[in-house]
Amino acid sequence: MKRPVLLMIACMLLAFGVTQINAESARDQHVYHFGFKKSKDGQLPSINEEGFKPILEKHGAIFLGDTSQKEIYLTFDNGYENGYTAKILDTLRDKQVPSIFFVTGHYVKSQPELVKRMVSEGHLIGNHSWSHPDVTQISNTQLKDELLKVKNAVAEITSQKEMAFLRAPRGIFNEVMLESSRTEGYTNVFWSVAYKDWDINVQKGSEYAYTQVMNQLHPGAVILLHSVSKDNAEAMGQIIDGARKQGFVFKSLTELQKKVY
């Protein structure tokens, strides 16, 4: 075999090897499931034990707000509708509380009137991805498409033309998606108050929901709730009143973003 041919084959093998190494490195990227040590007796929650705090800080992700202030940031995940979001919106409207709703493509397509109402009543719409995939297992191009489709769908039916906040489906993330989504202009939003409220077959009553949230309240709390929960819908007013009685003020994530950046 002539030398030029051998050289060409060697180069091709080398290129293939580099591609394989890069692909392998991407697959080996550590995947995290967001978790935290819950607040108790007013103490601050912690993610120090989870191992991912440095990369959240590196990429400007939000876990909690200004812990020197008695401020609360109320957030909802809306993957699908279960008949309770309107009641939640009624309570937020009556009590003048701002919130953000992280929606999927399914939600925007199936509940356009609720999405319109969220925006018209002063709430933010956040990106929860179009198809709710594991965002650590898709390419940057696919992630960009997932986010753009939600943003465009919301822009088509509401006055919100931009989208600044992202919540990774199921709280699964890695550094690649944090970096990629930030490049697209998103701030990743995690949480510092949460409980198992998403299982619609295991609802335990409004008092249980109230207690779960109130027991975790702390300065700078980012509260994650799911709008599919009947308990949350029924406890919403009590939660707001109880938090305010303790001196907490409900704020919009846009105000927190200004402080962070």
Model pLDDT for residues 69-121, shown as the tens digit of each residue: 999 999 999 999 999 999 999 999 999 999 999 999 999 999 999 999 999 99
Average pLDDT, the chain: 90
Do 131 and 74 have their domain in common?
yes
pLDDT at 40 (0 to 100): 87
Q: pLDDT exceeding 90 applies to what percent of the chain? A: 83
Do 6 and 113 have their domain in common?
no
Of the listed ranges 12-16, 49-53, 91-95, 200-204, the least confidently predicted one is: 12-16
Domain membership of residue 78 as a residue range: 31-260
Average pLDDT of the segment spanning 231-251: 98
Do 52 and 101 have their domain in common?
yes
Q: Which DSSP string corresponds to the chain?
A: --HHHHHHHHHHHHHHHHHHHHHHHHHHSPPEE---BPP-TTPPPB-TTTS-HHHHHHTT-BS---TTS-EEEEEEEESS--S-HHHHHHHHHHTT---EEEE-HHHHHH-HHHHHHHHHTT-EEEE--SS---TTSS-HHHHHHHHHHHHHHHHHHSS-----EE--GGGEE-HHHHHHHHHTTPEEB--SB--S---TT----HHHHHHHHHTT--TTEEEEEETT-HHHHHHHHHHHHHHHHTT-EEE-HHHHHHHH-
Do 157 and 63 have their domain in common?
yes
Do 237 and 124 have their domain in common?
yes
pLDDT at 23 (0 to 100): 42
pLDDT at 50 (0 to 100): 83
Do 8 and 77 have their domain in common?
no
Do 169 and 232 have their domain in common?
yes
State the total domains in the chain: 2
Do 199 and 224 have their domain in common?
yes
pTM above 0.85, yes or no: yes
Do 6 and 41 have their domain in common?
no
CATH number of the domain that residue 152 is part of: 3.20.20.370
Do 104 and 167 have their domain in common?
yes
Where in the sequence numbering do the catalytic residues fall? 77, 226
pLDDT at 210 (0 to 100): 98
Do 129 and 236 have their domain in common?
yes
Do 36 and 22 have their domain in common?
no
